[in-house]
Structure 1
């Protein structure tokens, strides 16, 4: 079983003015803050920005999304929602956001499914996602090429 580290559990030496002695004083944490813990995880994939892990007590592994990637997904979802709320759910910018959000999420689930397949783990969802669920609202003309 992993040890628990918390900001409350960390102690620092401070000189207490009234006694003139060194003493251990707990560091404070913000109200409502969750305590950090160190636990063992089953790690199925460590790919950068695509880690797949299973914490203790969970039936299925989960996909880790780094904070910057999560912010991109939230930004795109918010832009789509705001456009819909303001009756602006049309045009290239809107479709570009829909395409990007869909493809980022579908890419993640395809990777997740591949990792679970490789470890012979059933999917926690049905039906299975396929690459056909990736969308392209702005296909390149035959004469256009992608810069590499």
Structure 2
């Protein structure tokens, strides 16, 4: 394990926006439990598609998209608050 100093653009939380040394743009640190939930949400969409239940798949996908949109908005706001342009 290596210890490094990072730049913290938001509060710590479950989805902190941080920049690692040597990186031009920050990234989002997702805690392990949150990553597991994200993976489970994607699996739910895949399973519903496999069953041919497009209504259930669509609902699950909409919730997943809303969560990712919120995460992306947090990222964008953090960059704006620090006078940085987005990398996309």
Instruction: Say whether the fold is shared (TM-score over 0.5).
Output: yes
CA contact (8 A) 1:80 1:89 kept: no
More helix by share: 2
Question: 1:80-91 counterparts in 2 under 5 A?
Answer: 80-84=45-49, 86-91=50-55
5+ residue gaps, structure 2 = none
Q: What is the RMSD computed on CA atoms of the aligned residues? A: 1.4
Question: 1:128-143 counterparts in 2 under 5 A?
Answer: none
Instruction: Give the 4+ runs in structure 1 shifted more than 6 A.
Output: none
SS of equivalent residue, structure 1 residue 124: coil
CA contact (8 A) 2:9 2:78 kept: yes
> What CA distance in whole angstroms lies between the structure 2 residues aligned with 1:82 and 1:43?
37
1:46 and 2:15 equivalent? no
Question: 1:1-148 counterparts in 2 under 5 A?
Answer: 36-84=1-49, 86-91=50-55, 93-125=56-88
User: How many corresponding residue pairs?
Assistant: 88
CA contact (8 A) 2:6 2:20 kept: yes
| C-alpha displacement of 1:83 | 2.5
Deviations 1:76-121, CA, capped at 9 Å, x for gaps? 111212332x252412x32331121101111000010001000011
> What CA distance in whole angstroms lies between the structure 2 residues aligned with 1:75 and 1:60?
28
TM-score by length of 2: 0.89
5+ residue gaps, structure 1 = 1-35, 126-148
Structure showing greater Rg:
1
Structure scoring higher RCO (CA < 8 A, sep ≥ 6) equals 2
Deviations 1:36-70, CA, capped at 9 Å, x for gaps? 11001111112421211100111100011111111
